[in-house]
Amino acid sequence: MDNGKIIRKRPRENTLKIGYARVSTDGQKLDLQLDALKKAGCDPIFIDQGVSGASTERPGLQKVLKRLKKGDTLVVWRLDRLGRSLIHLVDLVNSLGRDGVEFKSMTENIDTSSSGGRLVFHLLAALSEFERSLISERTKAGMEAARRKGKHIGRPRRSAAAENRGAKL
């Protein structure tokens, strides 16, 4: 497994296009992603192989995030290579932006260094916020429905035996 591996061909300049590639299983090929990232001028390219996008343990991604500097651009072949959750992606790209790092997804044609790319990203961010609101509303509605049916919401209640043991202490 090549997790965290760096493919580098040239010395660091003031700003870099840094690539990130990921496949979920060891059997999947990275060739398509690596070829596209190299063609886009990415150097270095960080790799996570055999790692789920939902996993928080992605050594290549952790290394690339530590490596990025103001003015650099993080490039991925496709958004789902960076993460599975829209909420996570939006948070990550917003964090990069606060650090002065641009973001580019080649397949979806998102490039936060251009006004059109920022527009597409902000639309994704709005959808993400809408998704968060829907989740919250559904959770509250579900809890209210359970309360109306007499179900207890929250931690399990202490049993009488447990309360008696607590009283003896």
Indicate whether 95 belongs to any domain.
yes
Indicate whether 15 belongs to any domain.
yes
Averaged pLDDT score across all residues of the chain? 81
CA-CA-CA-CA torsion sign (135, 62, 34, 29) = negative
Indicate whether 75 belongs to any domain.
yes
Predicted pLDDT of residue 14: 74
CA angle, 89 then 77 then 57, to 5°: 50
**Residue 160 CB neighbours (<10 A):** 8
Indicate whether 64 belongs to any domain.
yes
Q: Tens digits of per-residue pLDDT, 72-104?
A: 999 999 888 887 677 788 888 889 999 999 999
Indicate whether 119 belongs to any domain.
yes
Indicate whether 13 belongs to any domain.
yes
C-alpha 121/C-alpha 90 separation (Å) is 8
Quote the pTM value. Answer: 0.66
Domain count, the chain: 1
**Residue 24 falls in the annotated catalytic set:** yes
Indicate whether 155 belongs to any domain.
no
Query: What CATH number has the domain bearing residue 76?
Result: 3.40.50.1390
- Residue 35, domain extent: 6-124
Question: Which one has a higher pLDDT value, 94 or 52?
Answer: 94
Indicate whether 133 belongs to any domain.
no
C-alpha 157/C-alpha 166 separation (Å) is 14
